[in-house]
Structure 1
């Protein structure tokens, strides 16, 4: 019985870890809804929203040549996975007064996938 419990816990840990990593290819599909305002990849330019190359690990409100809201510049956030997850669920809840008008991503799977996609977008 003890071995079965340990095996079950190990399987759960592996499953949770795999989910938390997300699927970058599926995240590219989720990112399509972001691409109306944001760009990624070689030669990306600021648009309605800033370029998201290198966003994971970057302090909020710091991408060059983008005019951020005062709320975003003063937020003190750094875009790690946990902060991105919270923000993308409801941007106005985490940073009231930011310029991002987006209802949020409800699906935890979609959130994990789009973050996995963003992690692949390295700063230029």
Structure 2
């Protein structure tokens, strides 16, 4: 009789996460992805480079990091209520120019959702 429930159990098994990293991201893998960002950004310290520091980015209003010269588009996005959280950052990382038209960030974006999840996990450790 137990074998009748097996197909149902197998169906539900596919709905469960494969490991702890699948939902929260892998910080070590995110550090590797961050190398693409490190040309212009720093996360470990609160120092601006070509781009603003990403240290403490979560919860920050867009276009407001001190001592950084933001594009008018990014400043307007912040004044319009854009605050960096996981969802907003995920959208921005997919296509920066589409999320904030006129941003001076020329990066084309990340297309791989796993890379974005891992990058977000990496950035979160510097936003506490």
Q: With structure 1 as the length reference, what TM-score do the two structures score?
A: 0.85
How far the C-alpha of 1:10 sits from its partner, in A, is 6.3
Structure 2 residue 47 is matched with structure 1 residue 35: no
Cα-to-partner distance string for 1:49-79 (whole Å, 9 max, x where unaligned): 0000011121111111111111111112111
Structure 2 residue 118 is matched with structure 1 residue 113: yes
Unaligned segments of structure 1, at least 5 residues: none
Structure 2 residue 15 is matched with structure 1 residue 12: yes
Q: Highest Rg: 1 or 2?
A: 2
Residue 62 of structure 2 contacts residue 82 of structure 2 at CA under 8 Å; is this kept in 1?
yes
- Would the alpha carbon gap of residues 92 and 16 (structure 1) be closer, same or farther in structure 2, given more than 3 Å must change? farther
Residue correspondences, number? 122
Give 1:91's aligned residue: 96
How far the C-alpha of 1:122 sits from its partner, in A, is 2.8
Higher relative contact order (CA 8 A, sep 6+): 1
Unaligned segments of structure 2, at least 5 residues: none
